[in-house]
């Protein structure tokens, strides 16, 4: 793929979704990231930035949870359908879509929207978790633990068939980076589908540089686009405390930057989302600030 994101405009879309998780507060994530000056940073880097504002998301108090093994299925499906349509338009305009969450269930719509007009998409999943559960394997029924499985075509038909096609991505073009908390059903699916997962053990042993080199090879092989789905809980809680499901022993601040810098240098990314920033659980907005710093690295910001 041609390295072209430096010539593109960037379109920001906020999705204040908190229906996919049990802990409240993640709906304020897009505002926290904006408050940490994401648009100003990207503008200083020379990009033409357009912010479309936030999609409307129902509040949990206004709706019944529905089936406990698929909480708020109808509402999450509806928001993701709108998100997919919005991103399809952004892609058609030739802009780089940058989505701010919100919980990780929004990846269902993000991936559907950016994959719709692509022949084959690669996917970088930066996360402490696999997000490969289904209604049958999920211990919580929270849909933010299911979007990667859904994108593979596994899950409830309303989610899987979003935007009118399935699957959105093939297992051989996916890498999961930073995994350290996987449910048994997810482990089974990873083995069954042959998904390349770089656990924290792999990062410790190989080093982030080699992990990203191998990841780039996987996600860019025979693909015409690459999406980055970055959950801030992929980072260590010491560096990103404001997340709903923190897991100790994560990727360091500097390792995270190296990953984003190498992805930027490779010129493979065509869309990105940053999710699960929860200001209620944060310290002085430092997790949103970390997100903005990583976004800067994605778009070419250098130390020197």
Annotated binding site for Mn(2+): 104, 127, 129, 131, 231, 233
Catalytic residue among 88, 231, 255, 282: 231
Active site residue 61: no
Active site residue 4: no
Active site residue 18: no
Q: What are phi and psi of 185, to 5 degrees?
A: -60, -35
Catalytic residue among 18, 127, 202, 282: 127
Separation between Cα atoms, residue 143 and residue 157, nearest integer Å? 13
Between strands 121-126 and 196-199, the pairing is unpaired
Report residue 135 as tokens: 């209604």
Could you tell me the CA-to-CA distances from 155 to 15, 147, 164, 274, 282 in Å, in that order?
A: 22, 9, 15, 23, 32
Residues 6+ apart with CB under 8 A from 246: 128, 233, 237, 240
**Where would I find the H helices in 53-165?**
73-92, 107-115, 147-151, 157-160
The SS3 call for residue 190 is helix
Active site residue 127: yes
Catalytic residue among 18, 103, 233, 236: 233
Catalytic residue among 88, 129, 236, 257: 129
Active site residue 276: yes
Catalytic residue among 88, 144, 236, 282: 144
Separation between Cα atoms, residue 24 and residue 278, nearest integer Å? 8
Active site residue 239: no
Q: Which residues of 19-54 are buried (b: 16+ CB within 10 A; e: fewer)?
A: bbbeeebbbbbbbbbbebebbebbeebebebebeeb
Separation between Cα atoms, residue 14 and residue 291, nearest integer Å? 14
Active site residue 144: yes
Catalytic residue among 18, 88, 276, 301: 276
Separation between Cα atoms, residue 264 and residue 268, nearest integer Å? 7
Catalytic residue among 75, 131, 186, 273: 131
Separation between Cα atoms, residue 275 and residue 98, nearest integer Å? 11
Where is the binding site, in residues?
A: 104, 127, 129, 131, 231, 233
Separation between Cα atoms, residue 110 and residue 277, nearest integer Å? 17
Could you tell me the CA-to-CA distances from 66 to 19, 60, 72, 74 in Å, in that order?
A: 11, 11, 6, 8
Catalytic residue among 18, 75, 103, 104: 104
Active site residue 231: yes
Catalytic residues: 104, 127, 129, 131, 144, 231, 233, 276
């Amino acid at each position: 793929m041609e390295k072209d994101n430096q010539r593109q405009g960037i379109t920001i879309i906020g999705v204040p979704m908190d229906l996919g998780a049990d802990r409240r507060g993640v709906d304020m994530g897009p505002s926290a990231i904006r408050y940490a000056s994401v648009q100003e940073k990207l503008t200083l880097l020379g990009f033409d930035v357009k912010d479309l504002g936030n999609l409307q998301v129902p509040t949990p108090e206004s709706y019944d949870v529905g089936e406990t093994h698929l909480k708020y299925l109808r509402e999450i499906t509806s928001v993701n359908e709108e998100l997919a349509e919005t991103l399809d338009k952004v892609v058609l305009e030739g802009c780089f879509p940058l989505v701010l969450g919100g919980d990780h269930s929004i990846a269902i719509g993000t991936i559907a929207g950016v994959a719709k007009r692509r022949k084959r998409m690669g996917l970088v999943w930066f996360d402490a978790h696999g997000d490969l559960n289904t209604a049958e394997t999920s211990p919580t029924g929270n849909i933010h633990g299911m979007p990667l499985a859904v994108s593979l075509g596994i899950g409830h038909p309303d989610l899987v068939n979003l935007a009118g096609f399935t699957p959105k991505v093939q297992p051989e073009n996916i890498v999961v980076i930073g995994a350290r908390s996987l449910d048994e059903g997810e482990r089974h699916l990873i083995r069954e589908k042959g998904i390349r997962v770089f656990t924290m053990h792999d990062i410790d042993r190989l080093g982030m540089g080699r992990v990203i080199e191998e990841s780039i090879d996987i996600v860019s092989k025979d693909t015409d686009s690459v999406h980055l789905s970055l959950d801030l809980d992929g980072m260590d809680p010491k560096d990103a405390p404001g997340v709903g499901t923190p897991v100790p022993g994560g990727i360091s601040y500097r390792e995270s930057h190296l990953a984003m810098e190498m992805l930027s240098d490779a010129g493979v990314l065509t869309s990105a989302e940053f999710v699960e920033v929860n200001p209620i659980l944060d310290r002085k907005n430092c997790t949103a600030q970390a997100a903005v710093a990583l976004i800067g690295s994605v778009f070419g910001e250098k130390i020197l």
